[in-house]
Structure 1
Amino acid sequence: MPRIGLDLPTVIRAATELADAHGLEALTLATLAQKLQIRSPSLYNHVNGLPDLRRHLTIAGLTLMSELFGKALADQSGDEAIRAFSHAYLSFARAHPGLYEAVQRAVEPGDNVLEEAAGKVVDLAVNVMEAYGLRGEAAIHAVRGLRSLLHGFASLEKQGGFGMPLDLDVTFRLLIDTFLEGMKVMQTKGDMML
């Protein structure tokens, strides 16, 4: 019988706290049970093992990302939308390193809930590219490029890869400005690039 007051949202919140504090790989059913002050088998009333727990974390992370991106993109378009999206992305990675790690994994085909959650994030990013006249495959290529830049920066920052005493926010701004110059090239060349 499940502990009174313990439900799936409570389990996911506790798992998020552990993953954010110690990394996704450090999250186990045993550490989660200890945090919740229950026995590990009790978690099976809410999740179907560690893979299912991680799936729930991915959904929670994607949901939070889409909420943050939606707020950041409100009333924004073009360069300002890309800047807002980029800052929201980096803020999410900094505030929730465990959830950020969870959302980097590819979605299993056929998992409709995960596909829908990931699709919302992708749709927000693709919609930003419309201001540059990019649609379809061209927009996806642009989104992949932006994601690669943002993920690279976020990962290097998290791992302490920027050792020189220079302002990281300036570096990040220059990185986004350079990407925006590339977007102007894509905009003028359009489908000829594909």
Structure 2
Amino acid sequence: MPRQGLSKEKVVQAAIKYMEETGNRDFTLKELAAYLSIKSAAFYKHITNLAELNYEIEKVAIKKLSEAMEEASIEKRGKDALIALADTYRNYAKTNPILYQILLTSPAANEKLLKDTKRSIGGIYRQILQYYLLSDEETFHLARMLRSAIHGFITFEHADYFQAEVSTDDSFHYMIEHLMDLLPKKTIDSKGGLESESTSD
């Protein structure tokens, strides 16, 4: 797979494509060079080492998911926004399995990574949850609960645990809808006042 005119971005995208095609996340620069039909020395004009390349891949993984989640929740509030986030998160894991695995194994608390991407997946959930009358601690608990439930479903789905002739999409939305029942009924309106979130469908 010859590549001409390398740049850092092209090296990163080539590495992601290589992992997607081979399933090999623990590749070496020599293996990536062979995949691109170039000498590994050509990489060093654009990256310092494999660690830097992996870091850049982690940035792409976070950026791609966070941008999709932000776009999905634009002009949505409360349950509608949280359901949109859940659907987007699951779809990302299904269509980008390698990047999703990288998200789970990358150092989520890496301050430099979060600063460079200017994003936090958990932060997006917490921002939406500010619509509800919650303490800061409750907001963190609920954000973690939602992400854990969604990830658990994704993990079982990916492992083909759901064999019954019942729609997995329906099961996923059933889970999310019932998790929403745990949220406070009192919410904050756009002017900072209180309102009751509608429970009717």
Quickly name the TM-score band, shorter chain normalised.
Answer: 0.7 to 0.9
Whole-angstrom distance in 2 between the partners of 1:32 and 1:158: 27
Tell me the equivalent position of 2:45.
45
Whole-angstrom distance in 2 between the partners of 1:141 and 1:95: 28
Tell me the equivalent position of 1:166.
166
Moved more, 67-76 or 146-155: 146-155
Tell me the equivalent position of 1:128.
128
Tell me the equivalent position of 1:90.
90
Q: Quote the offset at 1:26 in angstroms.
A: 4.8
Q: Quote the offset at 1:119 in angstroms.
A: 3.9
**Structure 2-normalised TM-score?**
0.80
Moved more, 143-152 or 156-165: 156-165
Higher-Rg structure is 2
* Deviation by residue 1:38-64 (Cα, 9 ceiling, x = unmatched): 123433333333332222111101111
How many equivalent pairs are there? 184
Task: Decide whether the 8 Å contact of 1:78 with 1:131 is kept in 2.
Answer: yes
**Structure 1-normalised TM-score?**
0.83
Q: Quote the offset at 1:152 in angstroms.
A: 1.1
Task: Decide whether the 8 Å contact of 1:24 with 1:101 is kept in 2.
Answer: no
Tell me the equivalent position of 1:103.
103
Whole-angstrom distance in 2 between the partners of 1:128 and 1:150: 16
1:107 aligned counterpart, secondary structure: coil
Whole-angstrom distance in 1 between the partners of 2:12 and 2:72: 25
* Deviation by residue 1:57-116 (Cα, 9 ceiling, x = unmatched): 11101111111011100011111111000011011111111111111135276642x122
**Structure 1 or 2: larger helix share?**
1
**Cα separation, partners in 2 of 1:52 and 1:161, compared to 1, 3 Å:** farther
> Does 1 or 2 have the higher relative contact order (CA < 8 Å, sep 6+)?
1
Whole-angstrom distance in 2 between the partners of 1:159 and 1:26: 21
**Cα separation, partners in 2 of 1:91 and 1:175, compared to 1, 3 Å:** same
Letter in 2 for 1:129: L
RMSD over aligned CA atoms reads: 2.5
Tell me the equivalent position of 1:181.
181
Tell me the equivalent position of 2:70.
70
